[in-house]
Amino acid sequence: MKINKQELLQFADQCVKCGQCLAVCPTYNLYQNEAESPRGRISLIQGLMHGHLDSTDKTTLLHLDHCLYCGNCESACPSGVNYIKLLDRSKQLYPVNAIASWQLDLLTNKKLFTPGRAASRFLPQRLKNHVPAIFQQALSLSTPKVKPVTYKAASATSDRKKIGIFTGCIGHQIDSKAINLTARLLDYCGLEAVIPRTQSCCGAIYQHEGHSDKAERLLQKNQQVFYHEDVEKVIFFASGCGTWLKQGDFSMPVIEATRFIASLDEVARFRASIEGKIAIHRPCSLDSSGKGWDIMLQLIQAIAGEQLVELPGNDSCCGSAGLHFLKHPQAARQLLAPKLQSLMDIAPRKLLTANTGCTLHFYNGIEERGLDIEVMHPAEWVSGLLLQGKDLSR
């Protein structure tokens, strides 16, 4: 996509520098530095575009790179500044510290790379030192033990309604339990789950790293894949992917998996007796309108009752934020720390979160602190409960 500098400046000039966004910005609160605030970043972009700032100065550009894309500033802004679009497009002009497209190809390649893959143990130390920092960080992560996703093309003969499942790149590993269980739940409810093998990464991380053309191509590829499978709806598990997919031109509705599950008759009637507290974390990217979150919360509340606890600080990013936790692990840890403290205080049996990056980030923080808390997707929790003891051959 060609960048229109004039349009970008118009976006930036909408900011009246009132500062109402500062209090809700996690990076401003963390660094206590104006340059780490939405207002500061907008001023930096204006300075760069007018040529008042050096566009090769890494310190300046790192302030842009630290942004979590949480969108809190947009919600708080009385002037309606389109901050996320402004930052995304500015990064295409000033891509310092951006991860190269070929590195993202590797990171998102389901066959070649998975974070925390045991293969890192077999990599000689002298080679490890030459691996780009982002891979070193990804390989240092712990990941839950899961079974692979069971891919499934649409049946040519079945007249059941087809529901497409978007797995994502890292999500096909981290969310695989949620994906497989949800597919079984759909089957139990008389629907046909379709999980095309040819789908690819959604493209969101390419977009945030300034590779807009590649991001668009991936979006279009996924649109084609689900179009050819003739599905009625596409459901996704990673809210970060969902935000980007929803900007595409899919010929069918694209909705969050738990939200879709909540609409099933079998689920609406379902109640269970829950032992132990269930904590729930709200990913920043979960439906900017807030509706997806409300429906998810109502469903979990209806099942868990008083055992459900909303994690304190749910209005602030956990630090995962796309590639942020791999690019800036120290800041990501600091942002996660108060949430881990809350988990220690609440001592839930499970933590539910609907974004792959958040799952991975919490999983590692919980493991580092030695806490006995299982991290899972809300769709996995609901599907698992509902299918317990059910005859799945019906």
Site residues, ligand SF4 (CB under 6 A)? 15-21, 24-27, 38-39, 41-42, 67-73, 76-77, 79, 81, 83
> Which CB atom, from 19 or from 190, has the smaller least distance to ligand SF4?
19
Residue 70 or 262 with smaller CB distance to ligand SF4:
70
| Closer CB to ligand SF4, 77 or 264, in the complex | 77
Min. distance of Cβ 123 from ligand SF4 in angstroms?
Answer: 34
For ligand SF4, give the closer residue by CB, 285 or 307.
285
Q: How far is the CB of 165 from ligand SF4 (least distance, A)?
A: 29
Question: How far apart are CB 14 and ligand SF4 at their closest, in Å?
Answer: 7
For CA atoms 59, 62, 66, 71, the dihedral sign is positive
Write down the least CB distance from residue 108 to ligand SF4, Å. 23
Nearer to ligand SF4, 69 or 325 (CB): 69
Q: What CA–CA distances, in Å, run from 93 to 13, 88, 239?
A: 18, 9, 27
Q: Where are the beta strands (DSSP E) in the chain?
A: 162-166, 192-194, 233-236, 254-256, 278-280, 308-310, 350-352, 374-376
Query: Minimum distance from CB of 45 to ligand SF4 (Å)?
Result: 11
Tell which residue, 234, 378, 182, 188, has the closest CA to residue 298: 378
Shortest Cβ 367–ligand SF4 spacing (Å):
26
SS3 string, 160-181, reads CCEEEEECCCCHHHHCHHHHHH
> Least distance to ligand SF4 from the beta carbon of 29, Å?
9
Complex with ligand SF4: residue 24 or 279, whichever CB lies closer:
24
| Contact present, 359 and 243 (Cβ < 8 Å) | no
Tokens 């069918």 correspond to 252
CA 110 to each of CA 56, 104, 167, 168: distance values in angstroms, whole numbers, following the listed order: 34, 12, 11, 9
CA distance 11 to 96: 21
| Cα–Cα distance, 71 to 69 (Å, whole number) | 5
Judged by beta carbon, residue 19 or residue 305, the one nearer ligand SF4 is 19
